[in-house]
Amino acid sequence: MIPYGRQEITESDIEAVVEVLRSDLITQGPVVPQFEKAVAGYCGARRTVAVNSGTSALHLACRVLDIGPGDTVWTSPITFVASANCARYCGADVDFVDIDPATFNLCPKRLAEKLEKAERAGKLPKAVIPVHFAGLPCDLAAIQELAEHYGFAIIEDASHAIGARYRDEPVGNCRYSDITVFSFHPVKIITSAEGGMAVTNRADLAERMERLRSHGITRSSELMTKVPDGPWYYQQIELGYNYRMTELQAALGVSQLQRLDTYVCQRHNVAGFYDTALSGQPLTVQHHPEDTYSAYHLYVIRVSAQDHRSIFEFLRTSGIGVNLHYIPVHLQPDYQRFGFREGDYPAAESYYSEAITLPLFPSMNDEDKQGVVHAVKEAMTT
Ligand SMILES: *Cc1c(COP(=O)(O)O)cnc(C)c1O
């Protein structure tokens, strides 16, 4: 079975991790700050906070934007559940904005309409979490313009999109957002096994995320409620977590980051091959606006809803590890409890009835790619 995604681990990745294993510190050492600095440099952002998963980074982002009970956070229904769950961890409500049927990203027009209504009802969101689906940057300028008008925060869920570019600048520079979040899960663009990072230009948010990743504990006397009892002293000044990234993960991340641009380029090559080889087939692919450069985390085709299931099954039977990203979040039982129903987000639901993710990873060889194309063409005609 050709998987839909697969990490690539080189000898130098292995050496980097082994080097940490032989050192004194396997957690809370120098390599996590090194990884943070490297990602900040890559993205052109001031501050980065490494954590143990993308989900943790989303949670911390919500916490430091003071999202809590009574607040609402909006995101896309076509995403991994973590993009929505992060708000619920903070006691906030979640609502969704339908996707653009062409880009599969949160639609700025639907967002504008929903904001107009929400303003009249006095229920504006505290934050919106646009997701750069499949690695394709959202229309960030349009979303930011609405944020300025209606006064909500923006957290970019860039779990798919490290290495992507928007208007000739790297995703993660936070020009259009308060915080950007990356995931380094093995299926993503680069990996640290598990891991994530929150990126921001605001020092106050970064400092608070650093504290929350380690139990909400501070050793800075100026933040304490009293003069320290002694040199051993620390204070917990708010409720935090253990969301720390290990040195082993960071070493893998630093090593992988060096190949980020190569990986994205290889992903574009595979996508380009599919584009050409599948043109003329009865299917559609994601529309890439001119001011975007995708990280190509995923290559999704949309086929007729009527044949969707049989094509999917045919591909799986043919050894092609196709997948479906994603089941609309509002259709999950744990979201239906809040009253979301089928029909709420027609573009997302129609996408779900047609979408198939084809295998896409940097080390795919010609045989893999041709095998996928051959099977897709065959599936279309049977
Ligand atoms: C992978 C992913 C996450 C969560 O990342 P983890 O590192 O697995 O916690 C969040 N949002 C999206 C869109 C993702 O694809």
DSSP string, 108-127: HHHHHHHHHHHHHHT---SE
Residues in the chain, pLDDT under 50: none
CA atoms within 13 A on the CB side of 53: 9
Whole-number Å distance, alpha carbon 265 to ligand 1 midpoint, is: 22
Whole-prediction pTM: 0.98
- Centre of ligand 1 from the C-alpha of residue 122, in Å: 31
> Within 13 A of 165's CA, how many CA atoms are on the CB side?
11
State which ligand 1 atom lies nearest to the alpha carbon of 82: 10
Phi, psi (degrees; rounded to nearest 5) at 65: -90, 10
Spatial CA neighbour of 89 closest among 115, 64, 52 = 64
In the reported structure, the alpha carbon of residue 372 is separated from the centroid of ligand 1 by a whole-number distance in angstroms of 26
Q: Does the CB atom of residue 157 touch ligand 1 within 6 A? A: yes
Distance CA 20, CA 25 (A): 7
Ligand 1 centroid–CA 162 distance in Å is 12
Nearest-atom index, ligand 1, CA of 83:
11
Is 160 close to ligand 1, i.e. is its CB under 6 Å away? yes
pLDDT at 46: 98
User: Sheet of 292-293: strands edge to edge?
Assistant: 169-170, 165-166, 292-293
